[in-house]
């Protein structure tokens, strides 16, 4: 009796907790969708904002966001993979390696606004790159680096021993074994890590607001400034300039991030099945 009661209570709480989570998620999505869906038209996506109230579209901000994210990905991927290969395969496991891992994990939890401030000080001012795609991409890469490095390290470690034996058994050197059999075997999970980190970068506001500038601009070279979608959204909403456009931008952002996450899942699944 008593036992049954406890059981039912526990079940009830679990249901409430799970229900709340799902409800909150749906509320947020529904709110943004309801307010944003009418705004999103081909014109909204492909034209420029005009006038003081930013009527019109958001095209340059989409380009800025994709530009900076792509650039950050290009910077992060080789560094993160080399670092992970070193940590997983070459470094003598012990204190130093644990310190590096701890540093990476700490780096991942630094508030992004601090990273933005740091990017402003280092890249924009000290190095004189100015507000630009490059400054923002470098600052973003600090945010992405630990995520990609750690997922890559895990991916490398989870490659089965016998894959390595196969390569060694054919007369492969250590580097050949790592580069030609271990890394290909780890690729699906590495790519997933990169995609997830990229999704995170797409939604990042604090870092880019300090490093990319705010001018609405279609970036061509890495030294051009611009305004990413998140900052556009922030400015539109904060100053109450154009709320419908803010919701439209928000919805577009959510769709992009969702696409990244689905892409990661799809990629992982396809490669699992073979």
Q: Which residues bind another protein (CB under 8 A)?
A: 160, 162-163, 165-173, 176, 180-181, 184-185, 271, 274
Whichever of 9 and 170 has its CB closer to another protein, that residue is: 170
Q: How far is the CB of 152 from another protein (least distance, A)?
A: 16
Radius of gyration of the chain (CA): 23
Q: Are 68 and 136 in contact (CB under 8 A)?
A: yes
Q: Are 212 and 135 in contact (CB under 8 A)?
A: yes
- Find residue 56's DSSP bridge partners: 49
State how far the Cα of 45 lies from the Cα of 248, in Å rounded to an integer.
9
Whichever of 75 and 85 has its CB closer to another protein, that residue is: 85
Phi, psi of 93 (to 5 degrees): -65, 135
Whichever of 182 and 252 has its CB closer to another protein, that residue is: 182
Q: Are 49 and 55 in contact (CB under 8 A)?
A: yes
Rounded alpha-carbon distances, angstroms, from residue 63 to 70, 81, 216, 220, 225: 10, 27, 11, 10, 12
Whichever of 76 and 81 has its CB closer to another protein, that residue is: 81
Phi, psi of 56 (to 5 degrees): 95, -140
Tokens at residue 267, please?
Answer: 């990629």
Q: How far is the CB of 91 from another protein (least distance, A)?
A: 15
Q: How far is the CB of 15 from another protein (least distance, A)?
A: 41
Whichever of 84 and 185 has its CB closer to another protein, that residue is: 185
Q: Residue-wise over 185-198: b if at least 16 C-beta within 10 A, else e?
A: bbebbbbbbbbbbb
Whichever of 3 and 161 has its CB closer to another protein, that residue is: 161
Place of tokens 């003081």: 52
Q: Are 236 and 21 in contact (CB under 8 A)?
A: no
Q: How far is the CB of 94 from another protein (least distance, A)?
A: 13
State how far the Cα of 121 lies from the Cα of 228, in Å rounded to an integer.
20
Q: How far is the CB of 64 from another protein (least distance, A)?
A: 37
Q: How far is the CB of 85 from another protein (least distance, A)?
A: 17
Whichever of 3 and 273 has its CB closer to another protein, that residue is: 273
| Segment (H or E) for 55 | strand 55-56
SS3 (DSSP) at 132 = coil
Q: How far is the CB of 80 from another protein (least distance, A)?
A: 21
């Amino acid at each position: 009796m008593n036992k049954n009661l406890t059981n039912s209570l526990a079940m009830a709480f679990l249901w409430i907790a799970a229900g709340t989570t799902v409800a909150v998620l749906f509320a947020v999505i529904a709110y943004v969708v309801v307010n944003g869906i009418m705004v999103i038209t081909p014109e909204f996506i492909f034209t420029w904002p005009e006038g003081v109230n930013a009527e019109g579209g958001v095209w340059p901000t989409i380009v800025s966001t994709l530009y900076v994210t792509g650039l950050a990905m290009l910077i992060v991927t080789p560094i993160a993979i080399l670092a992970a290969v070193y940590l997983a395969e070459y470094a003598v496991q012990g204190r130093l390696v644990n310190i590096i891992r701890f540093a990476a994990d700490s780096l991942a939890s630094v508030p992004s606004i601090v990273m933005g401030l740091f990017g402003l000080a280092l890249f924009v001012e000290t190095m004189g790159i100015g507000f630009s795609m490059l400054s923002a991409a470098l600052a973003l890469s600090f945010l992405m680096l630990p995520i990609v490095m750690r997922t890559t390290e895990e991916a490398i470690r989870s490659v089965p021993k016998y894959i390595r034996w196969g390569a060694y058994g054919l007369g492969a050197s250590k580097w050949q074994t790592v580069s030609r059999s271990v890394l290909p075997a780890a690729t699906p999970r590495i790519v997933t890590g990169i995609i997830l980190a990229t999704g995170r970068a797409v939604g990042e506001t604090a870092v880019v607001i300090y490093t990319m500038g705010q001018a609405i601009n279609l970036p061509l070279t890495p030294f051009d400034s611009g305004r990413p979608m998140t900052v556009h959204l922030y400015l539109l909403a904060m100053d109450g300039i154009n709320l419908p456009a803010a919701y439209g931008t928000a919805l577009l952002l959510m769709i992009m991030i969702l696409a990244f996450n689905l892409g990661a899942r799809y990629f992982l699944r396809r490669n699992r099945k073979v």
